[in-house]
Chains A and B, each alone.
Chain A
């Protein structure tokens, strides 16, 4: 094969390794999320759905990273990288070929550019995540500081009470987590309703839900415009609410929890602006009131979805790192 022919061939072959991760990125970034959001089992089994959303998000970051890497990497180096991964990582370093890669001199920069491009998605997400954690932590610290000054600890409720007419119940997660109830909420809730509401908030604290919510918010910010990012941002908090509802339902009746939700919501001054989580409360109440919506075992699809998503991720990794699979288009 002549040199010029080799170059032409390389031009056309440069991108073929980028196709599997790109396909997965499109699938998990745009197609699967819509299917998952409109599926019936997700809200029935919120814990499973949360795992699936997390796997989709991680798959997107991984596949984007690999796609960028392969788009910029010359085909020859791409193959060598595959061999490097195979022999140095999978087979304990026997016959480890050297990196940096032995491509034509001008391609050296391209290799480093490819590695830099591969880092873009994970680094961007990590940066937004750290910022999100820190700002949430700062807001919580400020809130907790004022709360300590004006709230009164009620050991028999295991909660802090704020003197205010509007009914409000929330939890302040973090290092010194606490459940906060306004005096307005104590006034409108019955004893059973209050117990249900407190149980719901304690489930948030026990499950450390704030970490997942921060991660979902960061994911939404890091990949704007992507259907997966938008849906992770709205679905993850809703699914966590449902998880906490389920936990509260172990201790109280469906009617108690549903009416408690209504009593707190209707007691607050109506907010005519578009509320961020508005319709979610309606979904939650309908779900709480429908027995099979919370207690049925996960459907076969719920169990199939997780291994499928995991297998998809493994497939991408394999396609980009095992020569036996990846060499077929160039031979």
Chain B
């Protein structure tokens, strides 16, 4: 998978590059709109992460150019401007997703996976998590054809953890994914812990749920081999 990171903030593009490289992506970096435009023209990318606020180029302009070049790369807009209209404008211009800064790298990866699934119409929509089967299309989890009644949030948490299996997910990362834009100011709350507690309870009625590991003081990890 080839990814182009268009971001003038070098430290940020560096961190994204480190992360995506570790996940097995081939990363290319452009710090200006001009070089991005050239790279997009010459190369073929699967993903373009595009900062809207480039110093020499309006991100929307770059988005338009890319679309005009007939490139079918998935485009995720990244912006710190956070204006309400930006999101609408970006999606109207054909961006596949929109991430406001600051975002979690795990969230970025989850969005990229979701786009892939959508774009390529992946047939295999069932993930096997130990003895549980997760149907992403129908948003259900079952055990030996027994449907487990999970709430929307519980499903989202399990899905997110499965997506980032064998990796510590901090409470902050989980909260950000689950609650998204809702401005619940009480960050110290135990929302996530309560959800995980309920999730474990529901899963353990059917099978072993020990694969959800609590990493003390940090968060959770879904272990899978």
**Does B bind A?**
no
Interface residues in chain A, defined as those with a beta carbon under 8 Å from any beta carbon in chain B = none
